[in-house]
Each structure stands twice: as structure tokens, then as C-alpha cells.
Homo-oligomer: A and B are copies of this chain.
Amino acid sequence: MGTTGGGRRVGRPRAAQRPDSGLEPRAELLLAAAELFTTRGYAATSTRAVAERAGMRQASMYHYVSGKEELLAELLESTVTPSLAYARELLADDTVPAEVRLWRLCRTDVELLCAGPHNLGALYLLPEVRTERFAGFHAVRAELKDAYRQLIAATPAGGLLAKSELELRTDLVFGLIEGVILVHRSEPERPARAFADATADAALRITGG
């Protein structure tokens, strides 16, 4: 067993990568960046600190990522893309009532925002995220918000709303869902499922009526 493990490492010489982490180097870097950006702060974290935390030398890190900004961009997008993929599925499936699909999207999105050991949503408010470098994140986030808008518009109550009122309700629902980032920050121990269900119920109450 020890020989096999040792043999594997000899066969794949990769400087100071942590043994037995089971992660690819890029995933290891993302995990290290998630931890350091949320606990020490983005500006206060050097690329070198990320590399060290991931168990590799700074020079090796540049084989896998271009730098800190790329890691931040990918972490931000990872908080949106799974919900966006699910939203696209839901939009395509009109055999299910829109309010049920909206409820499911809210629940899944909340669970995603509360998932993982680090509250990545806290990174949304970094001043750096306003810059053009993060246009990809803003684009997927806008697309997710548009999916919320379409599902709200497809509900019986949403279908009756004037355009400006539909925009307002969409902002409120989207704000409620993203507001979970702040609630989760204060109470990280709460079971995500019950809170996700309650948030989805609340989103439907905001939408209809």
C-alpha cells in the first residue's frame, strides 16, 4: 500500500503538491483561494499564500491559473452556474406549473449559496468585483436573474403584473435569495434544507398577490 502510494507519486512528479489530497491541482488552488479570500480577505491574500496553502510553489501555480483574479472569477461563477443550469432545465419544462418551478429554483439556489465550508457569496461585495475582469460573473448572474423573471411572469399572479411591477418583484425575490448570504454569515450552523424551504415559500408569497 505504502509502495503503491509512493510509486504513484514518483510516477507523477509534481513538486510540493499535498500527497493524498485527491484533488487536481486547479481544484486544490480554488479550495485554498476560497478559504483565504473569505477568511483573510481578497486584497490581503497574495498569490504566493494561495499556492502555499494548496501545497505548491508559486511558480507551479501559474501552470494552472493565471493568478488571483482568475481564481476569484471562477469562485464567483461557481456560486451561480449550477443554479443557472437548473433554471434552464426548469424553464424548458412547462409540464410543471411555473410556481412549482420557481419554488424549486429558490430552494436549490439557497442550498447552493449555503453549501460548502466557505461563504463565497461574501465575495460578491468586493470592490474589485465591479471591474470588467468579472464581466463573466455579472453575465451569468444577470442570466440567472432573468430566469427568475421568466418564471415569475409565468405564474398566474405574475402574469397579471405590469412590466415595472414584474421587475420590482423579481428584484425582491432575487434580493431575498441573495440576502441568504448575509443570514447564513450570521448563523452558519443552521440546517440549510429547512431554511431553503422557508425561503422558497417566502419567495412565492412575495410573487403572488
Contact = CB atoms under 8 A, between A and B. Distances in A.
B127 A125 contact: no
A107 B198 CA distance: 23
A209 B205 contact: yes
Tell me how many chains of this kind the complex includes: 2
Most interface-central of A128, A181, A209 (chain B CB within 10 A): A181
B185 A171 contact: no
A44 interface: yes
27 contacts: A40-B127, A41-B42, A41-B43, A41-B126, A41-B128, A43-B43, A43-B44, A124-B125, A124-B182, A125-B181, A125-B182, A168-B195, A168-B198, A169-B198, A171-B187, A172-B176, A172-B199, A175-B176, A175-B182, A176-B179, A177-B179, A178-B182, A178-B183, A179-B179, A179-B180, A179-B182, A206-B206
A39 interface: yes
A175 B180 contact: yes
Nearest to A121: B125
A202 interface: yes
Given A43-B43, A178-B182, 10 more contacts: A38-B127, A125-B125, A168-B194, A172-B176, A172-B202, A174-B183, A175-B183, A177-B179, A178-B183, A179-B179
A171 to B, nearest CB: 5
A24 to B, nearest CB: 27
A122 interface: yes
Contacts of A205: 205-206, 209
Contacts of A40: 127
Contacts of A38: 127
A202 B175 CA distance: 11
A182 B181 CA distance: 10
